[in-house]
């Protein structure tokens, strides 16, 4: 990675993100079947933009971005104010260090800090990507053991390191009151969820079943948690899972949505659809669930957005993309939804951020 270039890029508006037409002009990026979306607007243009999440006041987004054309060789963390009027631009600026790789950003309740995971303490450069040819060209996620979770101010200055354990610590989000952080760690030898009190640092492990538990969120009312999980059952599945984990890898191709009380009690499986059901979040009523899934495809694509009840009933397809829609998240007032999609990318592999009004 060109360290000097990244330092120079920090806090500057990224050029192809800014190269946008009037994003309030039309609904051209909405498919006819997407009846719950209105005024769909594309916010980024080019690169790989993912995991866009609202600030507590609903006015800002934080997301991770890779774009080799800009010298961003692996994900760095960006924030931007959401446009409120025609002609107002979406102007992201980097708030991570520009070193290593980052993932899973979230705003703190006061709106003055962010929390994200980073590998920068291990090396300034991007950690190596696994060679999937060694694993039958399957989709593999690296679990970098250099990931730890940090708090930074909006100028990118790290003010606190939140995790210190050896191995993967990442995927952090906060409770609605801003006092607790839920995240994934391999500190006990498996990928489990932990909840930490941000003031005291005291924490509790809230999952303990073999398999990957990650991507967790609290419900808007703070009474429940939701996450994605794999549950290897057969001897072969368990052996493969443990072998990959020993190499700091996971194959996230078979995951289902789980929920529990906020303390981890009464954990139960919501979906049983097969393939990858992931990026789940509670909807504003803290009862219904939205998530991404490729369960309708034998090839692994497309991924679409679906809603479902807690008891697994009333499954409804929300998006109609033919390639990839994922990372759905509602604004705190429930009026808008943000998601990441391959739509309108000119035939490239770019993934961009879209925001829409939500219609019940």
Q: What is the mean pLDDT of residues 3-18?
A: 33
Sort 98 into a burial class: Cβ within 10 Å, 0-12 / 13-18 / 19+. Answer: buried
Confidence (pLDDT) at 117: 98
Confidence (pLDDT) at 6: 32
Q: Which helix (H) or strand (E) holds 17?
A: helix 15-18
Q: What is the mean pLDDT of residues 142-166?
A: 97
3-state secondary structure of 258: strand
- With 90 as the cut, is the pLDDT of residue 23 above it? no
pLDDT in tens, 95-127: 999 999 999 999 999 999 999 999 999 999 999
Q: How far apart are CA 302 and CA 307, in angstroms?
A: 16
**In the structure, how many helices (H) and strands (E) does the chain have?**
3, 26
Q: How far apart are CA 159 and CA 31, in angstroms?
A: 43
- With 90 as the cut, is the pLDDT of residue 330 above it? yes
Instruction: Read off the pLDDT band of 182 (50, 70, 90).
Output: very high
- With 50 as the cut, is the pLDDT of residue 272 above it? yes
Which of 339, 333, 360, 223 is CA-nearest to residue 280? Answer: 339
Q: State both tokens at 174.
A: 């906060």
Q: State both tokens at 306.
A: 């679906």
Strands 113-118 and 148-153, sheet pairing: antiparallel
Confidence (pLDDT) at 87: 85
Q: Contact 263/159 with Cβ under 8 angstroms?
A: no
pLDDT in tens, 184-194: 999 999 999 99
DSSP 48: E
The DSSP result for 276-318, as a single string, is: BEEEEEE-TTSSSEEEEE-TT-SSS--BEEEEE-TTS---EE-
Q: What is the mean pLDDT of residues 318-338?
A: 96
- With 90 as the cut, is the pLDDT of residue 244 above it? yes
Q: Which residues on neighbouring strands pair with residue 89, listed in sequence order?
A: none
- With 60 as the cut, is the pLDDT of residue 322 above it? yes
Q: Where are the beta strands (DSSP E) in 165-284?
A: 169-174, 180-185, 192-197, 203-205, 213-218, 224-229, 249-250, 256-261, 268-269, 277-282
Q: What is the mean pLDDT of residues 260-271?
A: 97
Confidence (pLDDT) at 7: 30
Instruction: Read off the pLDDT band of 27 (50, 70, 90).
Output: low
Which of 22, 109, 11, 99 is CA-nearest to residue 60? Answer: 109
Percent of the chain with pLDDT over 70: 92
pLDDT in tens, 123-152: 999 999 999 999 988 889 999 999 999 999
- With 70 as the cut, is the pLDDT of residue 9 above it? no
- With 90 as the cut, is the pLDDT of residue 283 above it? yes
Instruction: Read off the pLDDT band of 321 (50, 70, 90).
Output: confident
Least confident of 9-18, 97-106, 167-176: 9-18
Q: How far apart are CA 109 and CA 198, in angstroms?
A: 12
The pTM of this model reads 0.92
Q: What is the mean pLDDT of residues 233-243?
A: 97
């Amino acid at each position: 990675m060109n360290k000097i270039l990244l330092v120079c890029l920090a806090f500057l508006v990224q050029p192809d993100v800014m190269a946008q037409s009037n994003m309030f002009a039309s609904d051209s990026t909405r498919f006819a079947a997407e009846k719950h979306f209105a005024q769909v607007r594309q916010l980024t243009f080019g690169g790989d933009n993912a995991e866009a999440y609202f600030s507590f006041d609903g006015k800002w987004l934080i997301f991770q971005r890779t774009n080799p054309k800009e010298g961003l060789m692996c994900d760095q963390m960006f924030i931007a104010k959401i446009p409120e009027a025609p002609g107002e631009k979406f102007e992201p600026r980097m708030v991570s260090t520009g070193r290593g790789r980052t993932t899973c950003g979230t705003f703190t309740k006061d709106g003055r800090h962010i929390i994200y995971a980073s590998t920068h303490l291990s090396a300034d450069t991007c950690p190596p990507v696994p060679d999937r040819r060694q694993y039958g060209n399957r989709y593999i996620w690296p679990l970098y053991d250099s990931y730890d979770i940090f708090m930074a101010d909006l100028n990118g200055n790290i003010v606190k390191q939140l995790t210190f354990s050896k191995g993967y610590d990442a995927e952090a989000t906060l409770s609605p009151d801003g006092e607790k952080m839920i995240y994934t760690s391999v500190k006990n030898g498996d990928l489990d969820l932990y909840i930490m009190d941000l003031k005291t640092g005291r924490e509790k492990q809230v999952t303990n079943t073999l398999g990957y538990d990650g991507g967790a969120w609290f419900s808007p009312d703070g009474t429940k948690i939701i996450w994605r999980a794999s549950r290897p059952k057969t001897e072969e599945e368990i052996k493969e899972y443990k072998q990959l984990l020993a190499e700091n890898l996971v194959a996230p191709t078979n995951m289902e949505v789980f929920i529990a009380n906020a303390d981890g009690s009464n954990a139960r499986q919501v979906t049983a659809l097969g393939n990858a059901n992931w990026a789940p979040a509670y909807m504003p009523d803290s009862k219904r669930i939205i998530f991404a899934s490729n369960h309708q495809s034998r090839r692994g694509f497309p991924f679409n957005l679906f809603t479902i009840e807690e008891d697994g009933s009333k499954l409804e397809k929300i998006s109609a993309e033919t390639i990839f829609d994922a990372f759905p998240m509602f604004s705190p007032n429930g009026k808008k939804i943000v998601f990441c999609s391959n739509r309108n990318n000119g035939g490239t592999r770019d993934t961009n951020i879209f925001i829409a009004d939500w219609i019940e």
